[in-house]
A and B are shown apart, each in its own frame.
Chain A
Amino acid sequence: MDGITGAFGWLTDPTHWQGADGIPTRFVEHVELAGLAILVALLIAVPIGLYTGHTGRGGALAVNVAGIGRAIPSYALLLVFFPILGFGLLTPLLALVLLSIPPILANTHVGLRGVDRETVDAARGMGMRESQVLTRVELPAAMPVMVAGLRTAAVAAVATATLAALIAGGGFGRYIVDGFALQDQSMLVAGAILVAVLAVITERGLTLAERRVVSPGIRLARDPDGERADDAV
């Protein structure tokens, strides 16, 4: 278990907090990759999920696509994309986007479909336009489920961004891959701790966000951890 005590020594060594392979640089690389992937995934998955959720059309397709997406391992995607796209952010970014779309898409769709139909009809009866029904009624009600999907995706993206190091990428995965190659358990465990801490912070942060977006009127009605929503796929 030298690796675990060694890791704290490694993490507290000031030389590891500077330079091109220092923790701050690797942190920025890691967050840049995972963050960009989530952003792109949101831009793709939310509009599709809103459409299928609002209209009810193509819902099965959306959920199935999401299910297949979950079956594709990210490491496999890296090996497939690298020979085509080569070095750079694009290869791991694409792999992470494909990883992040399923939970966001599924939860957006399920969240919207879960909105009480009578409420939606009442809104229409009040003379709201379809866009108003979507933005004023459906979205606020679906928001917690959607954020739960975002949370699942973000935690997975943070954890999986580690694999980018296997194809010469940066991020905290570098410490894990190099620590393994050098058989330096301290560096390896330090890398694992950094990834885990970042994942937990992401988790907690988005759980807080999830609580905040619950509209007060429906706060009582839902499962506080949103875990059921995660498993909805």
Chain B
Amino acid sequence: MIKPEWIADNLGVIAGALIDHLVLTVLAVWCGLMISLTAALLIRRLGFLRGPVTATFGILYTIPSLALFAFLVPFTGLTLVTAEIGLIGYTLLILTRNILAGLDGIPAEIRESADGMGYGRRQRLLAVDLPLALPVIFTGLRIATVTTVGLVMVTAVIGEGGLGQLMLRGFNRQFPTMIYVGFVLIIVVALVLDVLLQLAERLLTPWARRAT
């Protein structure tokens, strides 16, 4: 079933697909995080936005991924842009929801004492609010990342897909080795990114470790 010699001969191809997959994933999650942070902070300032924004992201989330990528092709072509619009779109609901939950969960006393210590609004956000919200944000980030790794696979239908394209090529020419290599690597990528995010969370929230 699996031909090791194909793997040995095509390490470059496999590495290329792996890198494509990582780039598609990381770019989507990073852009998604930036957009979600902006959206969440706007919502915290302008409360009336909460309903409309989360509803929009929620609707975006219910669109089947296959349809969204296919729908965008006549507008943005068979390009990285098409893939990224879809991938970013699907991270927004989870990330925004968790950033808001993290910020909403900070006890009022802590904010008040920060204010009392003379923190400005921006200072308090960076020094107090965001660090305290980090665990909940990271939960969202991990879910969004693992989900995106899987969704990247679907962009194979529009000629992207990273490891998904490797799998689809193997499928179309009935070459199981390519399918299995892609499959295993996708799971490995998801798990490794998940572990890396857990490590990052630990590094960024040393107080949480001391507490337990």
- A→B interface (CB under 8 Å): 3, 67-68, 70-76, 79-80, 82-83, 159, 162-163, 166, 173, 176-177, 179-180, 183, 185, 188-189, 191-192, 195-196, 199-200, 227-228, 231
Contact = CB atoms under 8 A, between A and B. Distances in A.
Interface stretch (B7-15, B38-46, B111-119, B174-182): B174-182
Contact of A166 (B157, B179, B180): B157
Contacts, number: 106
B211 interface: no
A72 B62 contact: no
Given A83-B171, A192-B71, 12 more contacts: A70-B190, A71-B150, A79-B167, A79-B168, A79-B170, A80-B183, A83-B174, A166-B157, A176-B66, A179-B70, A191-B64, A227-B97
Interface of B is mostly: helix
Interface string B2-35: 0000000000000000000000000000000000
Interface of A is mostly: helix
12 contacts: A68-B191, A70-B147, A73-B153, A73-B164, A76-B167, A79-B183, A162-B67, A173-B64, A176-B67, A192-B68, A199-B62, A231-B139
B99 interface: no
A163 B62 contact: no
Nearest to A67: B194
Contacts of B149: 71, 73
B157 to A, nearest CB: 7
A183 B158 CA distance: 13
Contacts of A185: 71, 74
Contacts of B164: 73, 75-76
Contacts of B70: 176, 179-180, 188
B187 interface: yes
Contacts of A73: 149-151, 153-154, 164, 186
Contacts of A74: 150
Contacts of A228: 101
Interface in B36-94: 59, 62-68, 70-71, 73-74
A10 to B, nearest CB: 13
Contacts of B73: 180
Given A3-B71, A68-B191, A75-B153, A80 B66 contact: no
